[in-house]
Chains A and B, each alone.
Chain A
Amino acid sequence: MSVPIFILKRILQALPLLFIISVMSFTMLKLAPIDPLAHLRANPSISLSAIKAEEERLGLNKPAPVQYAIWITNLLQGDMGISTSGASVFVLLMQRAGNTLKLSALSILFTWLIAIPAGVAAAVDRGKFVDKMFGILTSVGMSMPTFLFALLLLMFALATHLLPIGGLTSSNYFELDTIHQILDELKHLIIPVTVLTFVSLAGIQRQMRANLLDVLRAEYVRTARAKGLSEHTVIYHHALRNAINPLITLLGFEFSSLLSGAALTETVLAYPGLGRLTLEGVLTKDMNLVMASLMLGAVMLIIGNLLADVLLKFVDPRITLE
C-alpha cells in the first residue's frame, strides 16, 4: 500500500474514533456533579436574575443531548464556542499553545539528546559505572512525583535567588530588546524544562538500553563481530539502527504530548500553558474549553501515531504498511 493511501485510510478510521471520544468525554463531564456557577450561587451579592442570565448565556438550561448537538454542530463549522468567561475557546487555546509548545519541544529535545546517548552508553558498558549511575538516576526520575521535584526546584530558586519563581516572563519583559526577551524566557524555562526532562528521561533511556542489549545478543551482531568489523561499526552502524525502531513509536506518543502539556508541572510552576488552562477548566466545568482541549489531545495522539508509522516505513524498509 502506498503511503498516501495509507494516510488517507488512517484518517478515515480516525473520524469515528474521534466521534466516540467526544461523546464519551462529553458524557463524563456532564455526569460530574459540578455546578459551574457554584461560585456565583454562593455569593450573597449576586442576584437570582444574574444567575439565570448566566445559565441562559452558557446554555446550561438546555438538556445535555441538545447541548452536545449544539457543540458538535458548531465544531463542524469550525467554531469551538465560548468559554464560561465569555472568551472564544479558540483564542484561549491559541494564547497558551505557543507557551506549551516551547516547554514541551525543549523538554523532548533535551530528553532525547540525553536519553539516547545515555541508553547506548549504558548498554555498551553494561554493569559498569556509567550503567549503574544512570540506573540510579532514572530510578529516582521514575519514582519521584513531578510536582515534588518542581517544588524542590522552586525552593532552590527561592533560597538562591538565582532563578525566577514560576511564570514565563519578568515584569520588565516588554521593555527589553529581542535578545534579552529570549534570555528572559529561557531563564524562566530552566526549572520547568529540567523537571519534565528529568522525569521523562528515565523511560526512554531504559528503553534504549534494553533495545540495544537485545540487538547486541542477535546473531547478525555475532556474525559482524566474527567478520572482524570494528566494535564501533558493529554498534553504531548495525546494532543501533535496528534498536531504534521501538523508539520511533515512542516518538509518536511524545508528539501527542506536545500540546497536552503537563498540567501538574504547569500549575505548580505557574506556567501559562494549555495543561493548566484545561485543569482549571475541568475544575469549573468549562465544557467548551475542556472538550476542545480533549479533542485537541486526541487529534494530536492520532497524528503522532500516524507520523510514527510512516516514519518507521522510511527508517526500516522491511516494514510494510498494512
Chain B
Amino acid sequence: MAPIVVLSFLLTSCGSDKSNTNTTTVSTATTSTTATTNQTIPSTTATDSNDQGAAKEATRTGVIPTPTVEAAMSHIAKTPQPRPFKLIRASASTADKVIPEVDHQPIAEFWQARGEPGEFGGTFTVGAFGQGPKTFNKWQAADVESDGICQLMYEDLLAPDPWTGQYYPKLAKSFSISADKKEITFVLRKGLKWSDGHPLTADDVVFTFDTIVRKGYGNSSYRDVLSVHGKFPDVIKIDDLTVKFRTTVPFAPILNGLRVAIAPKHILEKLTKKPVAEFGKFWDVNTDLSTLVVSGPFKVSRYLPAQRVELTRNPNYSMVDSLGRRLPYLNRFDVSIVPDQPTEILKFYGNETDFLDIRAVRGSDAATMKKRETEGGFKMYNLGPDDGTMFIMFNMNRRKNPKGKYYVDPIKQKWFESRSFRQAVSHAINRKQIISNVLRGVGLPLYTAESPASIYVDKNLGGYAQDLVLAADLLATDGFVKKGEWLYDKDGHQVEFTLNTNAGNTTRDAVCVMVVNELKKLGIKANYQPIDFNILIDKVETSLDWQAVVMGLTGDKLEPYNGANIWKSNGRLHMFNQRLPAPDGSIPVTDARDFEIFIDQCFDKGATTFDPAERRKLFDAYQEVAYDELPFIYLYSTLDITAMKNKVGNYMPTPLGIWYTPKGSLHNIEEIYIKKAVH
C-alpha cells in the first residue's frame, strides 16, 4: 500500500498509528452496572489548564509524565456534567413538539435532552475510512463500520452515562435490581413508537432477547456475553411495558450484556421462522432502504457504495429538547466513506466533512492538525487515554501440536517461562522514549492490564523507568549469563528469538526497532520480522507458531469482565498461552499455571459480585498478578483526540462517551446541530 504510506507522509510528515487494521475495535459490547464513583475515573476529571491536567494525570495514574504530552493536549475536554435527563410526560405529540400533560394521563413519555436549544435542519457529515458498511441489520453487524451506523438507528433499554459511566434508562423509563441481584426489571416509557408508527412495547423486548439473541440470529456474541455458565437468563413479560430478566446466579456484567438494540418484532418475526442464514441477508446493504424500521434518531435513507451513507431524521424519535421540541435537530447525518485515514483528514480540511473521530486523528497527526485549527475553523479535543493497550508477549505455550512437536522449542520455553526473564524485558524497555519518539508525545506509558482509561485501573501499581542494571540483575537470578555481546541461558544456549508484528504499521515498526535495540543491550537477540496482520492473527490464534509478538487489543473503560476472553485460561484470545478449541467448540484446560488459575478465579468472582468495592478488589488482584507475572508486557496507551468544526453546536465530548460512529464521541447526536449564523 505504497500510495497510502506516501499520502500519510505528505500529510503528517511521517509516523502514524491506530491503523484500523490493527487494533480491532470492540463494537458490540461495553460497560458495567455497578460502575463506581466519579473520582475513580481517571480521565473525566475536568482540568483547568493543559499542563496541570497532564501533571494530574501523571500523579493519578502513577505514570511518568512525558515532556511533550502537554504540547499535543491542547484542549483537555472539560465538558461540564449536565443535569440528569428529565422525563417529559405528554398528553399529545405532533411531529414537531409535544404537549405537556395536565390531567395526569400521559400518553407518551419523552426524555428531555440536556444541551442548549439548537437550530433544526442541516446536514452533518462525518468521514469513516474503510470499506463501508457490510449490513444495515444491527443484530448481524460484527464490524465497526456497520455497527457504528446501526447505532444511530437503534436504541437499547439502557445506556452508560458519558460523564459517570453509571447506567441510565434509555428506551426504558426505569430499571431496578432485586435484593438477591438475580432479577432486573425494566419499565418501558409510554407511547414509544417505531419509525413506521407501530408501538414499541415489552413484546419487542422479549422478542429481541428471547428469540433473536437467545437463538443466535445474527451476531451470536450477544448471546455469549449474556450467558452465565452457558445458561441464558429468563426473559419474562410482566405487562405491556414491563420486562424482567432473571439469572440463576448474580451476574454483574449483565447490564452491559443487556445493551442490545431492541428489535422490531412486527418486522423481524417472520424471519425467525426461517433458517438462521436468512436472517443474515435481511436488511443487507442492497436492501430496499424504505423497508427499514428504526427506534433511534436517524434512519439510513440512501447508500452509495464506496461513497456515502445518508441517514435522515426519524420523526418518531422519543426525545425532546429543553423547549419541548422533538429531536433530533439534524435533518441528515452523512457518513462519507473514504479508503484511508489520510483522505479522511483531507476531506475534513477541505470542509467536506465536519468531524474527525478518534480513529482518524492519530497521535502523530495531532501537532500538524493543531496548526490548522484557526484557518480550518475547527477545534481539537483531547479525550484522555484510549482503552486499548499495546504490549509485547512471549509464547508461553508448553504443549505439543497434533503432530507431537512442541509449539515452542523447549529451549525457548524455559526462557519465556522465566518470570525474571519477562520482568527483565519489561525493565529494559524505555517506554518514555517510545512515546516521545514514536507517538510524538501523544500517549501514556502503560504498566497495567487495564488501560489508565478504565475506571477499574489499579492505581497502586506504579510505573518504572528503564533500568538496564536491574534488568541484568533479574536475568542473573535465573542463571542467564552475558558472554561477550550476547546472553546465554544456564544450559549455554544463546538467547535469540523472532519478534513479529503486523507489517505496514509504521508505529509498531518503530516500536519494535526500539525494543530490539534495548534488548540488545541485555545481550538478547530479537530478530524483528514484520508480517501481514492476517498472517499474524493466524499465527497467534490458530497455528500457534510464534515466539514473541508486539500487538494491541482494545479494552473496555467500564467493564473489565469484557477482558475475560483474553484473561481466562479457556479464553478465545488467551494469546500468551492459547489453547485450541475441541471439536465441540469448548476450550479444555488441563495445564494452567497457578497465576492463570488465580486470574480465572478473579474473573469468575468478579462476574458474580455486584458490590463495587468487592469487584474492585478482585480486579485489582488480577492486575497485580498480571503486573508481577507479565504474561503481557505493556508498553503504552495512546491518547484519544477528536476534531470538530466550530459551526457544530452541542458537541459535548467526554472520555467515557466514546461509541457512536465507530469510536466517535457523538453520544448526544440527537441534539447536535449546525449553527446557521456562522455558516
Interface residues, chain A, with chain B CB atoms under 8 Å away? 33-36, 38-54, 57, 84-88, 91-92, 95-96, 145, 147-148, 150-151, 154-155, 157-158, 161, 164-169, 171-172, 174, 264, 267-268, 270-273, 276-277, 280, 284-285
**For the complex, what is the distance from the CA of A42 to the CA of B534, rounded to whole Å?**
9
Q: Chain A residues near B281 (CB, 8 Å)? A: 86
Q: Chain A residues near B223 (CB, 8 Å)? A: 47, 49
Instruction: Report whether B10 and A35 are in contact in the complex, using a CB–CB cutoff of 8 Å.
Output: no
Instruction: Report whether A95 and B305 are in contact in the complex, using a CB–CB cutoff of 8 Å.
Output: yes
Q: Chain A residues near B6 (CB, 8 Å)? A: 147-148, 151
Query: Closest 10 CB pairs between A and B?
Result: A272-B306, A147-B3, A85-B134, A47-B224, A38-B537, A38-B534, A34-B534, A165-B350, A43-B24, A45-B26
Q: Chain B residues near A148 (CB, 8 Å)? A: 3, 6
Smallest Cβ-Cβ distance to B131: which chain A residue: A280
Contact of B2 among A39, A47, A57, A147 (CB under 8 A): A147
Contact of A47 among B221, B351, B534 (CB under 8 A): B221
Instruction: Report whether B534 and A151 are in contact in the complex, using a CB–CB cutoff of 8 Å.
Output: no
B91 within 8 A of A: no
Q: Chain A residues near B351 (CB, 8 Å)? A: 161
Within 8 A of A (CB), among B342-367: 343, 346-347, 349-352
Instruction: Report whether A44 and B566 are in contact in the complex, using a CB–CB cutoff of 8 Å.
Output: yes
Instruction: Report whether A35 and B334 are in contact in the complex, using a CB–CB cutoff of 8 Å.
Output: no
Inter-chain pairs besides A87-B286, A267-B340, 10 sampled, C-beta below 8 Å: A34-B535, A42-B537, A43-B554, A47-B572, A48-B585, A86-B140, A88-B286, A91-B286, A268-B339, A272-B307
Within 8 A of A (CB), among B524-548: 532-538, 541-542
Q: Chain A residues near B565 (CB, 8 Å)? A: 44-45, 47
Can you report 13 A-B residue pairs in the complex whose CB atoms are below 8 A from each other? A43-B24, A43-B142, A45-B29, A51-B572, A85-B134, A85-B285, A87-B284, A168-B304, A169-B307, A171-B123, A268-B3, A268-B339, A270-B339
Q: Chain A residues near B123 (CB, 8 Å)? A: 171-172
A227 to chain B, nearest CB (A): 55
Name the residue among B223, B343, B349, B581 with the largest chain A CB count within 10 angstroms.
B343
**For the complex, what is the distance from the CA of A47 to the CA of B565, rounded to whole Å?**
8
Instruction: Report whether A268 and B142 are in contact in the complex, using a CB–CB cutoff of 8 Å.
Output: no
**For the complex, what is the distance from the CA of A92 to the CA of B347, rounded to whole Å?**
25
Contact of B219 among A50, A161, A174 (CB under 8 A): A50
B276 to chain A, nearest CB (A): 8
B629 within 8 A of A: no
Contact of B533 among A38, A84, A88, A165 (CB under 8 A): A38
B12-51 contact mask (Cβ, 8 Å, vs A): 1 or 0: 0000000001001111110000000000000000000000
Interface of B is mostly: mixed
Instruction: Report whether B585 and A49 are in contact in the complex, using a CB–CB cutoff of 8 Å.
Output: yes
Contact of A167 among B336, B533, B587 (CB under 8 A): B336
B129-141 contact mask (Cβ, 8 Å, vs A): 1 or 0: 0010011000010
Q: Chain A residues near B219 (CB, 8 Å)? A: 46, 50
Instruction: Report whether B532 and A33 are in contact in the complex, using a CB–CB cutoff of 8 Å.
Output: yes
Instruction: Report whether B343 and A270 are in contact in the complex, using a CB–CB cutoff of 8 Å.
Output: yes
Q: Chain A residues near B446 (CB, 8 Å)? A: none
Q: Chain B residues near A270 (CB, 8 Å)? A: 306-307, 337-339, 343, 347
B553 within 8 A of A: yes
Given A43-B25, A264-B3, verify A174-B535 contact (CB < 8 Å): no
B581 to chain A, nearest CB (A): 6
B678 within 8 A of A: no
A191 to chain B, nearest CB (A): 12
Q: Chain A residues near B649 (CB, 8 Å)? A: none
Instruction: Report whether B308 and A171 are in contact in the complex, using a CB–CB cutoff of 8 Å.
Output: yes
Instruction: Report whether A52 and B537 are in contact in the complex, using a CB–CB cutoff of 8 Å.
Output: no
Smallest Cβ-Cβ distance to A280: which chain B residue: B131
Q: Chain A residues near B280 (CB, 8 Å)? A: 57, 86
B569-598 contact mask (Cβ, 8 Å, vs A): 1 or 0: 000110000000100010100000000000
A303 to chain B, nearest CB (A): 25
Instruction: Report whether A277 and B537 are in contact in the complex, using a CB–CB cutoff of 8 Å.
Output: no
**For the complex, what is the distance from the CA of A158 to the CA of B123, rounded to whole Å?**
21
B269 within 8 A of A: no
**For the complex, what is the distance from the CA of A86 to the CA of B133, rounded to whole Å?**
11
Q: Chain B residues near A95 (CB, 8 Å)? A: 305
B277 within 8 A of A: yes
**For the complex, what is the distance from the CA of A172 to the CA of B123, rounded to whole Å?**
9
Instruction: Report whether B553 and A44 are in contact in the complex, using a CB–CB cutoff of 8 Å.
Output: yes
Q: Chain B residues near A53 (CB, 8 Å)? A: 216, 220, 276
**For the complex, what is the distance from the CA of A264 to the CA of B537, rounded to whole Å?**
26
B624 within 8 A of A: no
Q: Chain A residues near B21 (CB, 8 Å)? A: 39
**For the complex, what is the distance from the CA of A43 to the CA of B225, rounded to whole Å?**
14
Q: Chain A residues near B307 (CB, 8 Å)? A: 167-169, 270, 272
**For the complex, what is the distance from the CA of A147 to the CA of B346, rounded to whole Å?**
15
B505 within 8 A of A: no
B431 to chain A, nearest CB (A): 23
Smallest Cβ-Cβ distance to A36: which chain B residue: B534
